[in-house]
Amino acid sequence: MNRSENLYQAETTKGAAQFARDFEAICKKYSFVVNNSDSMDMKKTFTAHGGVVPDDFDLHMMQVCKPTKADKSLTANPERAILMPKFVMVFSKEGKTQIRYMSYSAADITEMVPGDSKFPESLAETFAKIRSMIDEAK
């Protein structure tokens, strides 16, 4: 894995919650969904399950999916499911709002889902689109 190639890092002047709302709206515009809208605020999720975090803890873990693409992809090969959950993280750190997104290279994808020549290219398109939606939401 190549960290500089696979890990997308960005910063926004928006707060984490505002970025999450804006990102979700942009996802909808391109027929993507944030599957966990009601549980992406990890402070609320941790607290609801007995966890304790500081008052200033601010982390949103957004699970992104494009159902109209994923349905065909997983029907064609359920082995692909290991790479289907895509998460965009937004959090506050040192007074700034940080965004992180992990994707995989074609070589990584081929290694994880061997014998599936169409999947690396298709998934690369999705990775690129999610990065562009992050940029649009910033």
pLDDT digits (tens, 9 = 90+) for 51-86: 999 999 999 999 999 999 999 999 999 999 999 889
Prediction pTM value? 0.90
Q: How confident is the model at residue 2 (pLDDT cuts 50, 70, 90)?
A: low
Q: What is the DSSP string of 21-63?
A: HHHHHHHHHTT-EETTTTT-BHHHHHHHTT----TT--EEEEE
Q: What's the pLDDT score for residue 38?
A: 85
In angstroms, how far is the first alpha carbon of the chain from the final one?
26
Domain ranges across the chain = 3-137
CATH of 3-137, one of 3.40.50.2300, 3.40.190.10, 3.30.450.20, 3.30.310.70: 3.30.310.70
The single-letter DSSP state of residue 80 is G
